[in-house]
Chain A
Amino acid sequence: DARVTQTPRHKVTEMGQEVTMRCQPILGHNTVFWYRQTMMQGLELLAYFRNRAPLDDSGMPKDRFSAEMPDATLATLKIQPSEPRDSAVYFCASGLNPEAFFGQGTRLTVV
């Protein structure tokens, strides 16, 4: 059963530390998304890629966030330095036209 795999599932870190979240998209999917979910803002798009090229990262704070796809089997989202306001659930999704499938998310807590 193909699925999007995200690691870690939970992360607690101190303010100022670097955080790296990883996502393994479903094999064969050419589009990868990163979303952030908070109670206040709901689901926000941070970035998305097609065929490993970034198409839109306008939702991402550029000074501290970065998203990459080193290869077709791995997408990463990094926060450096992390801040308490980054606490949220981060979802990765992958898709092949017309639908996208979401991972279970990484719950990040920055203290």
Chain B
Amino acid sequence: AQSVTQLDSHVSVSEGTPVLLRCNYSSSYSPSLFWYVQHPNKGLQLLLKYTSAATLVKGINGFEAEFKKSETSFHLTKPSAHMSDAAEYFCVVDRGSTLGRLYFGRGTQLTVWP
């Protein structure tokens, strides 16, 4: 079975400081992993994906995530937060190999202070 745990429901940072959103997963297979972002009253936008290629994945808007199999983690980072990064972020796991049921974490609300 697949599951995702986002370790923080809320993260607050100051503009210009680093962002770390933590995600641990459980999967019986070699998973595909994703981060999605949702701005208020909007749909979900794909930030980045890991699909068994390079373990360090670069996404849009300066975000990165590193797949660590030994730690079953897929944390999302950004070196310098911008006000426009304030949103809810979802870590998502799929069984891998073929797009199938997506398992969502509960989300992390990122607040960016000026």
Spell out A's residues near B (CB within 8 Å).
4, 31, 33, 35, 42-43, 45, 48, 55-56, 91, 93, 95-105
Contact = CB atoms under 8 A, between A and B. Distances in A.
Given A42-B106, A42-B107, A100 B99 contact: yes
Given A42-B106, A43-B90, A48 B101 contact: yes
Given A91-B43, A102-B44, A105-B43, A97 B36 contact: no
Given A48-B101, A99-B49, A102-B43, 18 more contacts: A4-B43, A33-B102, A42-B107, A55-B100, A56-B101, A91-B44, A95-B99, A97-B98, A98-B32, A98-B99, A99-B99, A100-B46, A100-B99, A101-B46, A102-B36, A102-B45, A103-B43, A104-B42
Interface of B: 32, 34, 36, 42-46, 49, 51, 90, 94, 96, 98-102, 104, 106-107
24 contacts: A35-B104, A42-B107, A43-B90, A43-B104, A45-B102, A48-B100, A48-B101, A55-B100, A91-B43, A96-B99, A97-B98, A98-B32, A98-B94, A98-B96, A98-B99, A99-B34, A99-B46, A100-B46, A100-B102, A102-B36, A102-B43, A102-B44, A102-B45, A105-B43
